[in-house]
Amino acid sequence: MASPQKEDGYTAIANEIMEALASIRIPGEARQVLDVILRKTYGWNKKEDKISLSQFRKMTNLKDHHILRCRKKLISMNLITTKKGKDGAVIYGFQKDYTKWKPLPKRVVPYQKGESATTKKGNRPLPKRVDTKDTITKPSITKQKGIDFTKEMLQLFEQEFKRYWDEYDPRGKQNEVYAKKRFMALCKAGKLPEFDKGYIGYANFLKHKRINEGFDQRPKYFSTLVTDYKEYIGFEYKPPK
Residue 213: predicted pLDDT? 87
The long-range contacts involving 163-171, CB below 8 angstroms and separated by at least 24 positions, are: 163/52, 163/54, 163/89, 164/199, 164/222, 165/222, 166/87, 168/219, 168/222, 169/206, 169/219, 171/218, 171/219
* Nearest partner of 196 among 172, 175, 170, 167, judged by Cα: 167
Mean of all residue pLDDT scores within the chain: 82
Burial class (CB in 10 A: 0-12, 13-18, 19+), 200: middle
Residue 106: predicted pLDDT? 64
Where do the domains of the chain lie, and which CATH numbers do they carry?
12-100 (1.10.10.10), 141-232 (no CATH)
In sequence order, the β-bridge partners of residue 81 are 93
Give the distance from CA 63 to its chain's centroid: 7
Residue 11: predicted pLDDT? 92
Instruction: With beta carbons less than 8 A apart as the criterion, state whether 75 and 120 touch.
Output: no
Instruction: With beta carbons less than 8 A apart as the criterion, state whether 42 and 73 touch.
Output: no
Give the pLDDT confidence of 161-213 residue by residue, as tens digits. 888 888 888 888 888 999 999 999 988 888 888 898 889 989 999 999 888 88
Give the pLDDT confidence of 51-88 residue by residue, as tens digits. 988 899 889 998 888 888 899 899 999 999 999 888 77
E strand or H helix at 80, and its extent? strand 80-84
Instruction: With beta carbons less than 8 A apart as the criterion, state whether 83 and 59 touch.
Output: no
* Distance from the first to the final alpha carbon of the chain: 31
CA atoms of 118 and 115, how far apart (whole Å): 8
Query: Alpha helix (H) ranges present in 80-175?
Result: 151-167
Distances (CA, A) of 211 to 108, 176, 204, 206: 64, 29, 10, 9
Residue 54: predicted pLDDT? 86
Give the pLDDT confidence of 90-148 residue by residue, as tens digits. 899 999 999 999 988 765 544 455 544 444 444 555 445 454 444 444 444 344 444 56
Give the pLDDT confidence of 36-52 residue by residue, as tens digits. 999 999 999 999 999 98
